[in-house]
Amino acid sequence: MAEAEGDQVQVSTFEPPVDFARDAHVGSFEQYEELHRRSLEEPESFWREITDQFVWTKPWTKLREWNLPFTRWFVDGELNITVNCLDRHVENGLGDKIAFHWEGEPGDTRTVSFRELLEDTCRFANGLKSLGLQSGDRVVIYMPMIPELPVAMLACARLGLVHSVIFGGFSSDAIRDRVQDASARAIITADGGWRRGKVIPLKDNVDGALTDDECPSVEHVVVYERCKNEIEMADGRDIWWNDLIEGQPADCEPESVPAEHPLYILYTSGTTGKPKGVVHAQGGYLIQTALTSKWIFDLKPDDIYWCTADIGWVTGHSYIVYGILANATTGVMYEGAPDYPAPDRFWEIVDKYNVTVFYTAPTAIRAFIKWGDEWPEKHDLSSLRLLGTVGEPINPDVWLWYRRVIGGGSCPIVDTWWQTETGGILITPIPGAITTKPGSATLPFPGVDADVVDESGNPVAPNERGLLVIKRPWPSMIRGIYKDGWGQPGHEGEFGDRDRFFDQYFKRIEGVYLAGDAARRDNDGYFWIIGRVDDVLNVAGHRIGTAEVESCLVQHPAVAEAAVIGFPDEITGEAVAAFVTLRGSFEESSELQAELVNFVGERIGRFVRPKLLRFTPALPKTRSGKIMRRLLREIATSGKVVGDTTTLEDMAAVAALQGIDEEE
């Protein structure tokens, strides 16, 4: 460890440990620099070398196209991602290797080998085929963290079906919106899932989304029995998972699809009230998630890798399922909460399975710190050799605690920056090659041309804040925002909602991908991610659009207008605050306050519930009618307005809000 001189702060630096670097896939800074240079200057040979390690039914001859906003990779290649995640490992003699050590929250466990995962995938794919589902059809998956969740995803991919996984924390309204947007033909779910000793009623939530024939596209609902909670099965529509696979053979011919065939849609929050369906393609996504997994997590045949994310988010798609299976790595999968039955559940699991690589979110680490060092100290964590974080900026002191208490003072830490749209990690340390600084995601991965620029697209000076941009496409880049008809006959050459896609990512600064994050680069060129520049919140690593919460609140009969902002929270990074004006006949009360908080929880999901909800006679607005979120943020954070208010349309609104605060 050495002290380096940054322009603004003194930061510690940590060089890759010598013995770690010696055995690493990328073992020196020079090697990293050469890979990065070659990936940008000689992309054909760089990617050819990588893609040759995979199974293609038809090898590509054309590397890529880039017609803003659209990119295509390995353009004329054909493959099936599941062959690369399963079949080839079994064929290479790894059939008995463990794919997943699974741990249910109540303490039940299962072990799934690569052969079993392949056979389960094939049986279930045959079941889906028997329902009449065909390549290109959309299938929504809403499941707990059980092995059947990756099985369902892989079975879809095997048939060329486009899956859309919805996080189990979402409620009926969120499911309905997504099912409708994707016009899904089928939903795969479970009766329930375990969370802190309680059953999450997943099937009930699906039923709630399908009431009054609100989702006419849905023909089938497949239900896995997990918790044996009471549910209703609709005649002719609902079928038990076990009945569907009954008698199905354990092999299923994989559909060879063009590399650009959509693999999945994953909905994520943007700046409008409607979540965006981010589309990823089979070929580029496979290559990038596999390569980043291998180099960033330095995966070796003996590793036991554990990513604690839920598969319902992109982290789980890329780094529990596809990228990790593509490397034939043994993963751990855990169903429940980190503090159930006690705050050492994670450390018990690390100890039990001898986890070597551990990947989690800063919000979880902040909770561990709060719960106390005694919980990790009760367990032997010496199997760990590498730690990772993702999802939000990590405070340097939290990084240092993670290294010292969980990493035994010796594990390298990879702080990985990426997004649902990027598909894979783009800015990150490579642990055997790049010296780390706590709080910095360090440098771009090979193939990634990143920069921090001003509004005109010019690079900003070192240590100055600017906008994070990616200047050329990468293989797992978002292919577009889903719109009905994508890839269907009659819609050839149409890639979804072009205008929304272009406006969102390529308009503000022409010709480059705008990430939506503020960042700075230090004197060494290291990237420091500051946070979102748009109206997207990051609550416990979960992305929440303020507009979504606002449009939910105004659906309540008592609410006239709502403004939602984020404010700092010690554990979750940001928390949701809502400011609400009531319709004439409604009175402010603590009951109504609680009701509105629950309303958001029940409609969208518990994790979106406002931590703070205030009534106000009016919302502060500019003369042009824009809500002054900065003022609301100041009120939520400090209770006072300190900034400039001269553009305020209604000073009384601010006064009223400050008044409320002073009363408390």
DSSP conformation letters of 369-428: HHH-THHHHTS--TT--EEEEESS---HHHHHHIIIIISTTT--EEEEB--GGG-S--B-
> Residues 336 to 355: which contact ligand WT7 by CB under 6 A?
none
Compare residues 544 and 654 and give the one whose CB is closer to ligand WT7. Answer: 544
DSSP H stretches of helix in 70-195: 81-82, 88-89, 114-130, 148-159, 172-182
In the complex, the smallest distance separating the C-beta of residue 528 from ligand WT7, rounded to whole angstroms, is 9
Residues 353-392: x/- map of binding to ligand WT7 (CB under 6 A)?
-------------------------------------xxx
Cα radius of gyration rounded to whole Å, the chain: 24
Nearer to ligand WT7, 457 or 531 (CB): 531
- With CA atoms as reference, report the closest residue to 389 among 352, 355, 427: 427
Buried/exposed 44-62: b ≥16 CB within 10 Å, e otherwise: eebbeebbeebebeeebee
Nearer to ligand WT7, 398 or 632 (CB): 398
Element (H, E) at 547: helix 546-553
CB of 269 to ligand WT7, least distance (A): 8
- Minimum CB–partner distance for residue 97 and ligand WT7 (Å): 27
For ligand WT7, which residue of 77, 144, 376, 393 counts as binding (CB under 6 A)?
393
Q: Is 204 in the site for ligand WT7 (CB under 6 A)?
A: no
Residue 262 in the binding site for ligand WT7 (CB under 6 A): no
Residue from the set 442, 538, 546, 616 that interacts with ligand WT7 by CB under 6 A: 538
Measured between alpha carbons, how far is 280 from 480 in angstroms, rounded to an integer? Answer: 8
Residue 444 and residue 2: Cα distance in Å, rounded? 23
User: CB-based burial of residue 141 (10 Å sphere; 0-12 exposed, 13-18 middle, 19+ buried)?
Assistant: buried
Cβ atoms of 338 and 367 closer than 8 Å: yes
Residue 72 binds ligand WT7 (CB under 6 A): no
CA-CA distance, 419 to 5, in Å (whole number)? 30
H-assigned helices in 131-238: 148-159, 172-182, 202-210
From the list 49-57, 135-143, 297-305, 413-421, the region that binds ligand WT7 by CB under 6 A is 413-421
**In the complex with ligand WT7, which residue's Cβ is closer, 268 or 330?**
268
Helices of type H across 11-113: 18-23, 29-41, 43-51, 81-82, 88-89
C-alpha span between 15 and 21 (Å, rounded): 10
Is the CB of 375 or the CB of 417 nearer to ligand WT7?
417
Contact call for residue 317 and ligand WT7 (CB under 6 A): no
Q: How far apart, in whole angstroms, are the C-alpha atoms of residue 133 and residue 141?
A: 14
214 or 534: CB nearest ligand WT7: 534
Q: Is 321 in the site for ligand WT7 (CB under 6 A)?
A: no
Q: Peptide bond before 341: cis, by omega within 30 degrees of 0?
A: yes
Residue 258 within binding range of ligand WT7, rule CB under 6 A:
no
Quick one: tokens of 244? 């569907």
CB-wise, 201 or 531, nearer to ligand WT7?
531
Contact call for residue 546 and ligand WT7 (CB under 6 A): no
Does 614 sit near ligand WT7 (CB under 6 A)?
A: no
Considering the complex, what minimum distance in angstroms separates the CB of residue 318 from ligand WT7? 8
**Residue 418 binds ligand WT7 (CB under 6 A):** yes
Structure tokens of 407? 């990493």
Please, which residue, 118 or 333, has the CB nearer to ligand WT7? 333
Least distance (Å) between residue 549 CB and ligand WT7: 15
Which one, 315 or 616, has the nearer CB to ligand WT7? 315
The correct pick among 178, 226, 280, 532 for binding ligand WT7 (CB under 6 A) is: 532
Binding mask 270-299 for ligand WT7 (x = CB under 6 A): ------------------------------
| Least distance (Å) between residue 400 CB and ligand WT7 | 16
- With CB under 6 A as the contact rule, the residue among 184, 349, 441, 636 that binds ligand WT7 is 441
Task: Please pick, from the candidates 186, 221, 529, 597, the single residue that binds ligand WT7 as defined by CB under 6 A.
Answer: 529
Q: Residue 573 to residues 367, 455, 481: CA-CA distances in angstroms?
A: 11, 27, 28
Shortest reach from residue 541's CB to ligand WT7, in Å: 6
Secondary structure element (H or E) that encloses residue 430, with its range: none
Does 515 help bind ligand WT7 (rule: CB under 6 A)? yes
Q: Which residues contact 283 (CB under 8 A, 6 or more apart)?
A: 60, 73, 74, 77, 79, 258, 259, 260, 261, 475
Q: Are 226 and 335 in contact (CB under 8 A)?
A: no
Q: Which residues bind ligand WT7 (CB under 6 A)?
A: 268, 314-315, 390-393, 415-420, 441, 515-517, 529, 531-532, 538, 543
